[in-house]
Amino acid sequence: MPGKLEVSFNSPQCGWMSIGFKDGETEFHTTTAHAPYPGALADMMIALADITDSDSPQNEHLLKWNRDPEAYDIRFLRNGEKLILEIYEYPTDQRDPAEQRLVFSHVGTVGMVCNAFAETFEQLYEDRDTDEFEFNWRRPFPFTEYDRFKESLERNNSKIHL
């Protein structure tokens, strides 16, 4: 049985960011690029804000990120209090379904998974000036989306199980 999910998004450097996921049974680490999906980080925060809201009609989110030449789909699927996180890798940005490979999967409660992301987003936020986030990620920090995610998590924390 998987343990607690740990998510890491390390300080960006030259338009690249190291990300990692582990849960005691499996782990996955890679680097991701700031392009061609300029809103990938913001989109992830929006998706997680929606997922924490049990009244949201959207239970599935698929986010695209890339590494060049590899590409990734990060999928979130909420089923009641359970949240499935899956990461698929493609050898190219063509995203041929015949070549997709599941590289990480985790099932946990909505609260546990979203709180794991909240911890790493908080670290990115806290270090944004020291790490020169905007210069190094080549994208602005998604303040609005970050605030929306935090507010949704706080508002729904009593409704979601940790």
pLDDT band at 158; cut points 50, 70, 90: low
> Which residue(s) pair with 13 in the sheet?
16
Tens of pLDDT, residue by residue over 59-109, are 999 999 988 899 999 999 999 999 999 999 999 999 999 999 999 999 999
pTM for this model (two decimals): 0.93
Mean pLDDT within 32-53: 94
CA-based diameter of the chain, in Å?
42
Instruction: Report the topology of domain 6-156.
Output: Secreted effector protein pipB2 fold (3.30.2450)
Lowest mean pLDDT among 7-11, 54-58, 64-68, 112-116: 54-58
Give the per-residue pLDDT at 160.
65
Confidence of residue 162 (pLDDT cuts 50, 70, 90): low
Residue 12 per-residue DSSP state: P
How large a percentage of the chain has pLDDT more than 90? 83
Q: Among residues 105, 91, 109, 10, which one has the least CA distance to residue 52?
A: 109
Question: What is the CA 62 to chain-centroid distance, rounded?
Answer: 10
pLDDT of residue 33: 93
In the chain, % of residues over pLDDT 70:
96
What's residue 156's pLDDT?
84
pLDDT band at 57; cut points 50, 70, 90? confident
pLDDT on residue 122? 97
CA angle 39, 119, 47 (to 5 degrees): 35
